[in-house]
Amino acid sequence: YDRNRAIPPDFVEQFQIAQSEAQSAWIAARKANDFASFQPHLEKIVEFARRLAEYYGYEDHPYDALLEDYEPGMTCKQLRAIIEPLKRDLVPFLRKLAAAGTPPDRSLLDGSFDQDALRHLSRSALEFVQYDFEAGALDDVAHPFTATIGPGDVRITNRYPTDSPIPSLLGAMHEGGHALYNQGFPEELYMLGLAGGSSNGIHESQSRMMENQVGRSRAFWQFFQPVLAEHFPQFASGSPEALYRAVNVVEPSLIRVEADEVTYNLHIMLRFEIEAGLIEGSIAVADLPALWNQAMKDYLGIVPPNDAQGVLQDVHWSMGYIGYFPSYMLGNLYAAQMLPKIRKDLPALDADIRRGDTNPLLGWLRENVHRHGATYQPNELIERITGHALDPAHFVRYVTEKYSDIYGL
């Protein structure tokens, strides 16, 4: 209420108009690979975002005021402290994987897959995670999302590229994680305005947990290989281990949404560093293509061949969403910090998943995360659950152990 009251109505109107214009300009610029045509629009958006931060107010850094919409309580300073050790460990680990590791063979996932069978496969995955179809629906869309209509109605959307069964399968698990969170809010929270996630980052922890910690785990594939083979008989003869390895290939890619577990956060870091620089005024919009490409080279070792696959790839900035990106990274970090606590509380977690039993895991998530809705801020929630503040060391340990094993380091 206070934040909304802090913004003058005519500012909201003008910002909305600028966003609307910037979105169409972004679509055209990306299509034409023409950053220059988008530049004046982004300059306007940044100017509005800086004014917005002033209206909201902040103690330390104007970016903090914008973060508050997505990750209440998080600050630019905290993010830098989280990112430094991540960068220090992940960048050399990625190089080591590429130089000394044996990459898994993912060719077994190649082929042409029937869309209707993929749809049914997604349903099987959602049944496995115990998404409640009686209180929702699964529908087709170009860019998947989860929508909560109200208590008892949380809908999922998915897309079905036909060249591999994995993107739609793990996409369903991802949206399923979001939907389970929303299906787990007690009804009374709707009456209190608290029937939402604690933050975008905590919400993303629930989706990434189902997509990665579960969907990219060895135990999951031991259970799920026969399920996959029911829909696609060509997988009946393969080994669960080969499938587990095939879904865990690490490869620096140009596009964030296609990134694996090791490289994903590196994509987010470069966006955060650019955003913080734009808002504090140390970076000019005109310099973004060069800065983007340099950061891609430093962090991921690859340079986009054009701006369409580089600085123009995400819709967020054109929509005025500055401060949103860190949520994606925080989701990975929160999930990785919850996992050791889950394993401690549920020592049979892997054995349960191997049997296809997600009841203990869902029960744990309901009890520790879902039932609280937005009652606690994310820093309070993660501390209540794990006993300490967010610590990126959990994520580093999770990926280095998992991928050193897969890559035979």
Residues that bind Zn ion (CB under 5 A): 207
Cβ nearer to Zn ion, comparing 167 with 238 = 167
Cβ nearer to Zn ion, comparing 183 with 207 = 207
Taking the complex as a whole, the smallest distance from the CB of residue 181 to Zn ion amounts, in Å, to 10
Bridge partners of 140? 158
Please indicate whether residue 134 is annotated as part of the active site: no
Cβ nearer to Zn ion, comparing 207 with 212 = 207
Bridge partners of 157? 139
Taking the complex as a whole, the smallest distance from the CB of residue 170 to Zn ion amounts, in Å, to 11
Taking the complex as a whole, the smallest distance from the CB of residue 178 to Zn ion amounts, in Å, to 6
Taking the complex as a whole, the smallest distance from the CB of residue 166 to Zn ion amounts, in Å, to 17
Distance (Å, whole) CA 261 – CA 250: 8
Taking the complex as a whole, the smallest distance from the CB of residue 174 to Zn ion amounts, in Å, to 6
Distance (Å, whole) CA 168 – CA 114: 12
Q: Which residue in the list 68, 71, 175, 273 is annotated as catalytic?
A: 175
Taking the complex as a whole, the smallest distance from the CB of residue 204 to Zn ion amounts, in Å, to 5
Report the 3 state secondary structure along the chain: CHHHHCCCHHHHHHHHHHHHHHHHHHHHHHHHCCHHHHHHHHHHHHHHHHHHHHHHCCCCCHHHHHHCCCCCCCCHHHHHHHHHHHHHHHHHHHHHHHHHCCCCCCHHHCCCCCHHHHHHHHHHHHHHCCCCHHHCCEEECCCCCEEEEECCEEEEEECCCCCCCHHHHHHHHHHHHHHHHHHCCCHHHHCCCCCCCCCHHHHHHHHHHHHHHHCCCHHHHHHHHHHHHHHCHHHCCCCHHHHHHHCCCCCCCCCHHHCCCCCHHHHHHHHHHHHHHHHHCCCCHHHHHHHHHHHHHHHHCCCCCCCCCCCCCCCHHHHCCCCCCHHHHHHHHHHHHHHHHHHHHCCCHHHHHHCCCCHHHHHHHHHHCHHHCCCCCHHHHHHHHHCCCCCCHHHHHHHHHHHHHHCCC
Cβ nearer to Zn ion, comparing 199 with 207 = 207
* Cβ atoms of residues 18 and 45 within 8 Å: yes
Taking the complex as a whole, the smallest distance from the CB of residue 215 to Zn ion amounts, in Å, to 13
Cβ nearer to Zn ion, comparing 182 with 207 = 207
Closest residue to Zn ion, Cβ-based?
207
Cβ nearer to Zn ion, comparing 75 with 205 = 205
Distance (Å, whole) CA 333 – CA 60: 24
Cβ nearer to Zn ion, comparing 332 with 358 = 332
Residues serving a catalytic function are: 175
